[in-house]
Each structure stands twice: as C-alpha cells, then as structure tokens.
Amino acid sequence: MAGAGGKPKAAEGPPSNFIRSIVADDVRSGKHARIVTRFPPEPNGYLHIGHAKAICVDFGIAGEFGGVCNLRFDDTNPAKEEVEYVESIQEDVRWLGFDWGENLFYASDYFERLHDWAVDLIRGGKAYVDSLTPDEIREYRGTLTKAGRNSPYRDRPIEESLDLFARMRAGEFEEGTHVLRAKIDMASPNVNLRDPALYRVRKAAHHRTGDRWCIYPMYDYAHPLSDAIEHVTHSLCTLEFADHRPLYDWCIENLDVPSRPRQIEFARLNLSYTVMSKRRLRELVADGLVSGWDDPRMPTLAGLRRRGFTPEAIRDFCERIGVAKADNLVDVALLEHCLREDLNRRAPRTMAVLRPLKVVIDNYPEGAEEELEAVNNPEDPAMGKRTVPFSRELWIEHEDFREVPPPKYFRLSPGTEVRLRWGYLIRCTGVVKDASGEPTEVHCTYDPETRGGNAPDGRKVKSTIHWVSARHAVPAEVRLYDRLFSVEAPEGPSWKEHLNPNALETLERCWIEPSLAGAAPGSHWQFERLGYFVVDEDSRSDRKVFNRTVSLRDTWARIEKKGF
C-alpha cells in the first residue's frame, strides 16, 4: 500500500506490508521461536507523531505475531538526556495504548558489556585507538567521491591500543584527544564503514550511571549490540539508517553476541505544516515560541493529547498511512479526518457561543424559563438526551446575525426567521447598535407553536443556529488553533520564520451551556457547528478552558471524493 495514505481501511484486518511479510516468513520457516522487536527512543525530547508511527509498527508487529516489544532507552549520549524525557516517553507510549510489560531497558545498563566487547575487538585487531584530532579525522575520512586515508595510528600495536583505551576509561585524557575506531575500510564507498568511531571521551555525568563512565559508546555500536543482548529478532527503524546497516551487521558478525538481530528500515513519517525533529521541537520550546512540549500546537504526543487527539485516532492514522520504503509528506488533513471519525462517535453534542451577541425575545415572558430536550449524539442513541434551559435573553454567535445580509445568507437578519437548535423558530424584528454601528442587541419574537423546532403549518426556515440562555450560561475561555506553520514543509535555516502567527487565538468571553459546568479535564465535546473541543488542564472550578481540537469541516473527505 502506498505511504501516501488515504486508502480506506481494509475490512478484514490490517493490510499487509513488506515488514509483516518478512516477519511472517521468518515465523513460517521456524527461524525464530519468538518475535522480539524494540522501540528505542533517545531520551532527549518528547515523542512526536512520527514516533507514534514507529511505536505502532514496533509494538504492532510484535503483538500480531504473539511476541514482545521492548521499550529501550538509547541513552548513550549523556549531554542531551534528561529524566523528564524518560518519564514523558513512558507516559506517552502507555497513553497510545501499548504495554512493554517487564521489558523496560536502558542501553546504559549494557555499558560494561559494550566496553568488554570493545576490548575484544581491539584484541582481535578489529579496533584501534586513534589519536588524530577531530579535524584530522574528518579530513582523513575523505568524501562521498574521494576515498579516505588510513590514520597513522591505524596499525599501532594492539597492546598500545589496549593500554590507551584503558586510560581513556580511567579519565586520563581530555575529550577529542583519543577515540576508539573500528578497523574496517577507509576506502569503502559507504562512508559509515571508513573506520567509524566506537567510543569517545565525554566528561559528562549520565542520568543513570552518574560519573562512573567518561567514555561513551556511539549509537552505531551500541544499538546492534543492545539488540543482540535483548534477543531482538527484527530491529525496525527508519530509512536514514539503511546506510548504517552494514556497520550494524559488522558489529554483530565480529563479536560473540548472544543473538543475531536483523535491521529493517521503513519510511519515516513527515506531516505537512509542522516539523518533526526533536532538535527543532526543542528549539521551539527553548526559544519560548510555544508554551512547552505539550503546547496544543505541537506535533508531540503530549501536545496532541492536550489538544484533544485520542490514541484511537492516532493509531487509526498510523494504520492508514501504512508502512512503505519511500519517504513522503502526509497531508495533516488525513490525521484530522481520523480524529473527526473517532470524536464523532465519542463526543456528546453541546452548545456554546464563542463570540457572543445578545438576542432578546420580546414576546417571551420576562422571568419565565423552560427546559428543552436535546439529543446528545444523533450517531449514538445510547448517549441519551439532556435538557437545555431556555429564557427570554440568549447568546448567539456574532456572525449568525447580519443587519444587511449578503446574498445566500440565511441566518438571522431583520425580517428573517431561523430555527434555534432544539428550540423555537424566531423572527428578527430589530437591532440595537452602539455608537460605532456595531450591533449590541438583536430583537426577535418567537412562535410558541414551534417548540422543538418545527412549525405546525409546515413552513420552512433555511437556517438553524446554536444559542445559550444568557441567564443560565456559564463563562468559559476557548482557545482556537490553526497549523503551527504557514507553509507545508518548513525547511532551510529560516524555518522558524514560517511559524504561523495566528496558530493560537484565545477567546476569553465565551458562554457554554450549563450542562458543561462540570466537564472533566480531558473530556471531549462537540460544540454544535463549531467543532470538537476538549477541557484543558488550565480549567478552574469557576472557569472552564476549552481547546478546539479540530473544526467540523473535513477537507480530507472532500479530497478523497474528488480523487486528489
């Protein structure tokens, strides 16, 4: 299936993909008794929607074949890693709906073994301590078109390398003075094989091992060996690691490791109108351009959760985009489409007014009120009914009234009749304006015969608008979101200049129907005609804050129908 996504979900089970086929073959041939995969985040930031794809693939494959997926922190770089990230990553994986059971590991737990294997490599003449400067190493490495040159230290005696490596570990050398390198091939067309570094000196405290180490293994060395230690059968990762696979295999083949994992690469997820590298996301947080990792504009799982995305919608999205070998840019409209499908099922309908305009129903008795019956979810009768209070003064949406209606405007304007959702038909009789000509109060009459929304004489109205009874309304703040970037693929050194300045709009004087007064943080609601909303954690008992998760207009359904 194409990575572009958008194909309807297969009715029977998930569609196949090349990874499922490989694993199925390995199961059939008896190559592995048990399938083991792993999700290996580096704890240097929060997880994003791209990681969600990897998590769904890693845990999904293991789950389908009755195996396990390990959660392994790839914590080999002490400088950038923090406990906060270790915790947020676990929370996010769990929230997405996956369980690693007992299988929580840290690459740092293997430091001793990784070190001993490095000594084995030196003893076997397969690794050496190089004493060139970092600049010299770069220069000796050559380029894509030019072969590299051997370091003058490449053939230093094994005993000397062993001694230097021991002294590197003992802390005798400063960063950048010595490095342990694999002895492979400086002329290899694959730059990754030109005597790659295996260990370097880093005098930094590690979040788990403290000051115990001052040499740290490189990712390309630690990763295959960690996989082997954990008996990972299929090490699934993104395409940028394809060129590293020969080095992955070299490590496995040249050491006496307990198992032989196989690396398989798939395309990473890129999503339009956002950025997806932790480095860039970290920059947005550090520069204060967003309120934090969980800012609802962020493509992080914490941000999406706060925005009101559900794990079900994200998993559905990951299933639909599929797993392929070609990089592409997925339309964020598809993600939003999956979200609307899920929220349509789960979110009760309610009424709220975001930009209020007062309506006075002159022929409704002052002081009177009544309860009107409203359906909670037309898609799901089991969600039942509620009542909404009605009285003489209401709030309606400012844009639902026009003193001089443009063509095809069927909402409220002087002389026209509209339906109040779940209520009566009302006809506009006049408008009060302020000094600048802005309407401040709309006057109407209601037809008492139309309770519930239909006229006994069968006359039709062209529009139904939402409303809240002014006397009963509860105040709220509502935050509206738009795309984080105003271009599809923000790239280049000036990527931050493409941030959308209108990605957050805060409306502080909104009114919600009283049934929402007790809505719990994290609960999902549809505000009729306005979209899906979630109660934000900033809510206080006397003041609710809602985030708009997504509007109701589904651009993906339109794209799908038109076929482009």
The continuous run of DSSP H or E covering 410 comes out as none
Contact letters for Mg ion, residues 404-443 (x by CB under 5 A):
----------------------------------------
| Closest C-alpha among 81, 92, 520 to residue 305 | 92
CA pair distance 415, 86, nearest whole angstrom:
62
Here the tokens at position 428 are 């506009």
Side chain identity at residue 216, one-letter code: Y
Q: How many residues bind Mg ion (CB under 5 A)?
A: 1
Which partner in ligand ATP, Mg ion, none is near 264 (CB below 5 to 8 A by kind)?
none
Closest residue (Cβ) to ligand ATP? 50
Q: How far is the CB of 323 from ligand ATP (least distance, A)?
A: 10
Q: How far is the CB of 353 from ligand ATP (least distance, A)?
A: 39
Which partner in ligand ATP, Mg ion, none is near 40 (CB below 5 to 8 A by kind)?
ligand ATP
Here the tokens at position 479 are 């935050």
Piece in contact with Mg ion (CB under 5 A), picked from 36-44, 182-190, 344-352, 383-391? 36-44
Side chain identity at residue 274, one-letter code: T
| Closest C-alpha among 260, 264, 265, 297 to residue 281 | 297
Q: How far is the CB of 276 from Mg ion (least distance, A)?
A: 12
Closest residue (Cβ) to Mg ion? 42
Q: How far is the CB of 53 from ligand ATP (least distance, A)?
A: 4
Contact letters for Mg ion, residues 341-380 (x by CB under 5 A):
----------------------------------------
Which partner in Mg ion, ligand ATP, none is near 54 (CB below 5 to 8 A by kind)?
ligand ATP
Given its phi and psi angles, is residue 418 left (phi above 0), alpha (psi -120 to 50 degrees) or beta?
beta
Q: How far is the CB of 291 from ligand ATP (least distance, A)?
A: 20
Beta strands 369-375 and 197-201: pairing type?
A: unpaired
Residues 6+ away with beta carbon under 8 Å from 175? 200, 201, 202, 203
Which partner in ligand ATP, Mg ion, none is near 359 (CB below 5 to 8 A by kind)?
none
Per-residue DSSP letters for 314-381?
HHHHHHHH---SS-EEE-HHHHHHHHHHHHHHHPPEE-EESSEEEEEETTSPTT-EEEEEEES-TT-G
Which partner in ligand ATP, Mg ion, none is near 50 (CB below 5 to 8 A by kind)?
ligand ATP
Query: Number of C-alpha atoms within 13 angstroms, CB side, residue 374?
Result: 26
Nearer to ligand ATP, 275 or 412 (CB): 275
Q: In DSSP terms, which residues pair with 32 in a beta bridge?
A: none
State yes or no: is 42 an active-site residue: yes
**Strand order across the beta sheet in which 215-217 lies:** 127-130, 179-182, 197-201, 215-217
Which partner in Mg ion, ligand ATP, none is near 178 (CB below 5 to 8 A by kind)?
none
Q: How far is the CB of 42 from Mg ion (least distance, A)?
A: 5
State yes or no: is 562 an active-site residue: no
Point out the catalytic residue in the list 268, 306, 346, 544: 268
Which partner in Mg ion, ligand ATP, none is near 238 (CB below 5 to 8 A by kind)?
ligand ATP
- Site of interaction with ligand ATP (CB under 6 A): 40-42, 50-51, 53-54, 237-238, 268-269, 276-279
Nearer to ligand ATP, 51 or 411 (CB): 51
Point out the catalytic residue in the list 245, 278, 305, 479: 278
Which residues in 362-375 are b (16+ Cβ under 10 Å) and which e? eebeeeeeeebebe
State yes or no: is 386 an active-site residue: no
| Closest C-alpha among 184, 304, 201, 160 to residue 254 | 184
Per-residue DSSP letters for 224-248?
HHHHHHTT-SEEEEEGGGGGGHHHH
Q: How far is the CB of 368 from ligand ATP (least distance, A)?
A: 58
Nearer to Mg ion, 77 or 413 (CB): 77
Residues 158-197 touching Mg ion, rule: CB under 5 A, are: none
Nearer to Mg ion, 221 or 422 (CB): 221
Which partner in Mg ion, ligand ATP, none is near 423 (CB below 5 to 8 A by kind)?
none
Q: How far is the CB of 278 from ligand ATP (least distance, A)?
A: 3
| Closest C-alpha among 489, 486, 484 to residue 504 | 484
Query: Where along the sequence are the contacts to Mg ion (CB under 5 A)?
Result: 42
Which residues are known to be catalytic? 42, 268, 278
